[in-house]
Amino acid sequence: MKKLKFIDICAGIGGGRLGLEESGFECVGHSEIDKIASEVYSMFYNDENNYGDLTKINISDIPEYDILIGGFPCQTFSIVGKREGLDDDRGQIIYGILKILEKTKPKYFILENVKGLINHNKGSSIKIIIEELKNIGYNVEYKVLDSKNFGTPQMRERVYIVGVNKKIKSKNFLWSNEKSEVMVKDFLDDSNENNLDIKNKTFQKYLNNKYNVGKYNIEEILKTDYLILDTRQSDLRIYENRVPTLRAGRHGILYTRKGKLKKLSGKEGLRLQGFPEHIIKKIDSVKLSETKILSLVGNAMTVNVINEIGKSIESIEKDREQLIMTEL
């Protein structure tokens, strides 16, 4: 089968890219406007071919490609955001993507957004987006997938929108089956020495506020390795073999190990998003705080999920080629 080529739109640090490369596809260009994300992307993949702001791309400069992948800005659709949606400037990025798709007509596209897109504005936002995609020549499917079902213990529900050019004669797109459960300890690093003192004033506020006072015995909690503690707002939640969604604005994830509380590191965050070790080790070469790395990680796509979607596209492509051979 001919190797499929793709462009990576709103690329972040390349989670989508890695997923498709692991499916055997080739990246021929990307678009990212965040300076730090762009620098990390370039360092990870030795790729300077950044087209920048997708709303200003000269479409004729884009090389021939088969797949567009993009995680268009999700802040305007998120449960934790203000939910302005299509009325917000960032929400309009989807129309820049539509323009590129309409002009270049690739075989396939993969778009990713937060689960909140499904019910934003009583479901009208997703309906408008799907109709626009269909109107420019695509059969479109969408589904909410949870990363924890695809080889990582991270609970991360995202809506994935997949389009197949209507000119392609093949079987329908099939969503991949879920994978077997994995162990959270395999994603954490024994060399992580970023400990949190249990007497930390902020942590004590979580333990002793009106919602949690008397609810948790921290000494007992510390007796069990690899419990995940999530501190946010006034809430404290504890998980076994699960990690809450990594987000750009969430940095309060802790875990227990050898009687201590550990702060989740940037490398551990990358691992929970499915980034392979040969990429993770490169993060040492950039001078970024753990907080900033986790922010970049929180905006990334989960590699494992995209890889499975890529495999489904590969299956369509093989079916299409077989059909062409049959007709000869």
Our answer to whether residue 10 is catalytic in this structure is no
Beta strands 227-232 and 195-196 are unpaired
Domain spanning 5-174+302-327: which superfamily? Vaccinia Virus protein VP39 (3.40.50.150)
Tokens linked to 47 = 């790729």
Question: Which pLDDT score is estimated for 326?
Answer: 65
User: Please, what is the Cα angle at 147 between 183 and 301, to 5 degrees?
Assistant: 120
pLDDT at 121 over 90: no
Amino acid in the structure at residue 64: E
Q: If 0-12 CB within 10 Å is exposed, 13-18 middle and 19+ buried, where does residue 175 land?
A: middle
SS3 112: strand
What does the pLDDT look like over 189-211, one tens digit per residue?
A: 999 999 999 999 988 888 888 88
What does the pLDDT look like over 278-324, one tens digit per residue?
A: 999 999 998 899 999 999 999 999 999 999 999 999 999 888 777 66
Tokens linked to 93 = 């990025």
Question: Which pLDDT score is estimated for 180?
Answer: 83
pTM here is 0.91
How far is it, in rounded angstroms, from Cα 144 to Cα 159? 4
**One of 4, 13, 69, 74 is an active-site residue; which one?**
74
- Report the 10 Å Cβ neighbour count for 185: 13
**Summary mean pLDDT of the chain:** 89
Pick the residue with more confidence: 324 or 155? 155
Amino acid in the structure at residue 132: E
Per-residue confidence band for 157, with pLDDT thresholds at 50, 70 and 90: very high
pLDDT at 81 over 70: no
* pLDDT, average across residues 92-104: 88
Per-residue confidence band for 133, with pLDDT thresholds at 50, 70 and 90: very high
* pLDDT, average across residues 161-186: 88
Contact by Cβ (8 Å): 231, 261: no
Q: Above pLDDT 90, what percent of the chain? A: 67
> Which residues lie closer than 8 Å to 79 by C-beta, 6 or more apart?
114, 115, 116
Q: In 101-183, which ranges are E strands? A: 108-114, 138-146, 157-165
pLDDT at 44 over 80: yes
Question: Which pLDDT score is estimated for 291?
Answer: 92
Question: Which pLDDT score is estimated for 174?
Answer: 85
Phi/psi for 200 (5° steps) reads -50, 130
List the one residue out of 260, 262, 267, 207 whose CA is nearest residue 231. Answer: 207
Q: Where are the domains of the chain?
A: 5-174+302-327, 184-297
